[in-house]
Structure 1
């Protein structure tokens, strides 16, 4: 069982749907896990963004990312939840630093792999330094899945996963805490 948070399109797009409009078939999906803990370099590369080379390298080992799946990014950040300063580290100028997806890789995954969404164990799918929330905006232009603050990604295999996402069905809600059942 995973826990986390699901963003809805209305959180970034005024004309977008609320959390209550996701249908059951949009919430039961195949998933893959890409582990970038090594790229974070023992917590010295907080601003690391998953890139296309990372995806191609992962696919050489595990096969092509299937269409219609959710790509879950394991950064190791969930182990920092107990300490707010570690989970949302700020520099002397107040800029927040944590890893995420690059806009380029997100566009690649959407167009070349036709994914259904993204998930991550950090505060957001956008790296902390992306104050424009470019990945969220891109993904939520349509009612795709954006999962954040996921727990237990370290317990999942890279492939062969089906996730069932259970949000609170808040009318016109911009997001919701979720329980995520991962079957593999």
Structure 2
């Protein structure tokens, strides 16, 4: 148990550390009609009580799938016996933030994915990616939010052209650098051309390695590629397979 002196010391130290730091909200506000996985129903929101209509308080009932808006996917989302949301410890919710930036490549080719040289170049500038890091893929795709058609970016044949991760990069990050989690701005881990064919092998790989991920991140623009911290939190449903998350960076 913390003594009063110890507790004050921790808070004082944290205040000193955070003085002058920048806080960036990496979370979209969720709402009915937003972009989402096409097989999922839309959000339904109902005001059970409303102070604007004379009630003593306001209370909403939300009907949403767990994978809604900026959200967390735990291993159990795809993997039998995988960790559920309540089994991910809070120690994993504050992590060093690494940003891999392929925004320029995506601007010329929406199907772009990261390559191993992107990681090698990052490490040549910053040193080895730290163990237990959260690696976010910056693509600029969140600028399309909240337009569902712009986010899906489908062609005349119905194929989605969106960026995503690559197997070689994910394997390196997880197997060679032992990162704790990954995140991205688009709807899926896999690029759109893969998900259009119902291929979710990259997401399956991440979750099968007992990692978790955050989808539909916002506001990655302007953050440093190294040196920041990410805080990712979510509700704690027993056995939960996904939930909207609140994610922010401190830099």
So what's the TM-score if we normalise by structure 2? 0.69
Q: Distance in 1 between matches of 2:170 and 2:220?
A: 19
Give, in angstroms, the shift of residue 35 of structure 1.
1.2
- The answer to which structure, 1 or 2, has the higher relative contact order (CA under 8 A, 6+ apart) is 1
Q: Distance in 1 between matches of 2:176 and 2:208?
A: 17
Q: Equivalent residue for 1:58?
A: 122
Greater share of strand = 1
The structure having more radius of gyration, on CA atoms, is 2
Q: Equivalent residue for 2:236?
A: 169
So what's the TM-score if we normalise by structure 1? 0.92
From 214, 226, 231, the counterpart of 1:159: 226
Deviations 1:71-102 (A, max 9, x none): 11110001001321111111222222211110
Q: Please list every run of 5 or more consecutive structure 2 residues that lacks an aligned counterpart in the other structure.
A: 1-24, 28-69
1:2 aligns with 2:69: no
What are the residue-to-residue correspondences of 1:123-162 with 2, within 5 Å? Answer: 123-131=187-195, 132-162=199-229
Greater share of helix = 2
Q: Please list every run of 5 or more consecutive structure 1 residues that lacks an aligned counterpart in the other structure.
A: none
Q: Equivalent residue for 2:58?
A: none
Kindly indicate whether the alpha-carbon contact (under 8 Å) linking 1:16 and 1:142 is maintained by their aligned counterparts in 2.
no
Secondary structure class of the residue paired with 1:60: helix
Q: Equivalent residue for 1:18?
A: 84
Q: Distance in 2 between matches of 1:126 and 1:100?
A: 5
1:95 aligns with 2:159: yes
Q: Equivalent residue for 1:35?
A: 101
Structure 1 stretches of 4+ moved >3 Å: none
Q: Equivalent residue for 2:136?
A: 72
Between the two proteins, the alignment pairs up a number of residues equal to 182
